[in-house]
Amino acid sequence: MKLKLHWQILIALFLGILLALASKAGGFENFVIEDLSILGVIFLRALRMVIVPLIVSSIISGVTSIGNAENFGRMSAKTFTYYVTTSLLAILTGLVLVNLIQPGVGAHLNLQTVPGNLQANVEKLGDTLLGIIPLNPLAVMVEGKILPTIFFSLLFGFFITKAPDPYRQQLTDFFQGVFEVMMKLTHFIILFTPVGVFAIIAQKVAQTGLDVFIPLAGYMLTVIGALAIHAFITLPLLLALIGRISPLKMFKAMSAALLTAFSTSSSSATLPLTMSSIEENAGASNRVSSFVLPLGATINMDGTALYECVAAIFIAQVYGFDLSFAQQFIVVLTALLASIGAAGIPMAGLVMMAIILNAVGLPLEGVGLILAVDRILDMLRTSVNVWSDSCGTAIIAKTEGETGLKVLRQ
């Protein structure tokens, strides 16, 4: 019997960690970090290769099946309500926990090197929002800019439904065909996930020493605790109460995608797996998933939003700043904005911290305090980001009256 993909990935994760530890003990970590890691690079490149054509064809074929403007408006309203509500719930969970635990109060930490270009990011957020409307749709696709590509694809798909026949039918069939081909290609790449995960994890573990965790243990536990509450309590409650969906079945259906998000620290790179898992294992339609997932991978980041809030307040605590209620409110709002603006790539959230620190007047160098443990937190928050997108897709599919869902409670 063939081993299920998520088991294969779990075994790969485990073996990757073992190899990294062995390489450190045996002094051959350079082989793992420099040579073996090529397998991970190949896997990530292959995933990135399919992202733009997959997003374009899936959105266009999905939107043409949504049909009229009324359906389109209803789906958009549901999707955005879900994104904003869950992101705010996540931020509030982080806010409560970081105020209760106060991991930064009295902590003595050394600043590590600060990532460059922080100030540039503060100014760039406005541009990113405006940049959603592409000047040249083909150029943004070629450059792999996700938000403007989504924007154009949504409009293009919508106006196909307004075109007269035979063009409407021809174009609908054409994009449906491209989408089917892209899914087949994606499945082929997904077969190699265990190999990619093995190499990526081995490299990450070999690069990181455990000693950096000790001074930041309180901060890490606060972020991890809040992420756990959001992933294992808040989102499952929404699944069960609004969608009558079994959180456990949903978790099983999405496990390969969640493990890949964990290993790659990138919602965008995981998107091909998220889409195929939600459609094949959870049984949601392409009509809903193509609307909720690509957008979600870029703008709905519950894990990142939560982390931004905890990290900003932690930095304030370390510097001995007492944030007023109004300032904490600004942290909540800017954490939401930063999570929307963060790209679905590794460490995007860390770079976006600059926006929040700037908004409440904290020194940008504060980012240097949390740098050492960002990698592991990035893995966890990316999994939560993908989990929230998946839960949203299932809930919206259920409220749209879909009958094919395989994750409903008995």
Q: Which residues bind ligand ASP (CB under 6 A)?
A: 265-267, 301, 304, 342, 344-349, 378, 381-382, 385
Q: Which residue is nearest to ligand ASP (CB)?
A: 349
CB nearer to ligand ASP: pick between 260 and 286: 260
CB nearer to ligand ASP: pick between 93 and 304: 304
Residue 305 beta carbon to ligand ASP: minimum distance, rounded to whole angstroms:
9
User: CA triplet 104, 107, 113: central angle to 5 degrees?
Assistant: 90
Chain mean position to CA 313: 22
CB nearer to ligand ASP: pick between 246 and 388: 388
d(CA 335, CA 91): 7
Closest among 284, 246, 254 to 271, alpha carbons compared:
254
Give 359's contacts (C-beta < 8 A, 6+ positions apart): 330, 331, 334
Q: How many CB atoms lie within 10 A of CB 225?
A: 17
Residue 389 beta carbon to ligand ASP: minimum distance, rounded to whole angstroms:
10
Residue 386 beta carbon to ligand ASP: minimum distance, rounded to whole angstroms:
7
CB nearer to ligand ASP: pick between 8 and 382: 382
CB nearer to ligand ASP: pick between 160 and 227: 227
User: Are 266 and 41 in contact, with CB atoms under 8 Å apart?
Assistant: no
Residue 310 beta carbon to ligand ASP: minimum distance, rounded to whole angstroms:
12
Give 167's contacts (C-beta < 8 A, 6+ positions apart): none
User: Are 235 and 391 in contact, with CB atoms under 8 Å apart?
Assistant: yes
The one-character DSSP state at 136 is: S
Residue 132 beta carbon to ligand ASP: minimum distance, rounded to whole angstroms:
18
User: Are 190 and 273 in contact, with CB atoms under 8 Å apart?
Assistant: yes
CB nearer to ligand ASP: pick between 87 and 266: 266
Using CB atoms within 10 Å of the CB of residue 182, give its burial: 0 to 12 exposed, 13 to 18 middle, 19+ buried: buried
Residue 346 beta carbon to ligand ASP: minimum distance, rounded to whole angstroms:
5
CB nearer to ligand ASP: pick between 160 and 335: 335
d(CA 253, CA 250): 5
The one-character DSSP state at 50 is: H
Residue 338 beta carbon to ligand ASP: minimum distance, rounded to whole angstroms:
9
Specify the residue for token string 């079945």.
249
d(CA 78, CA 27): 54
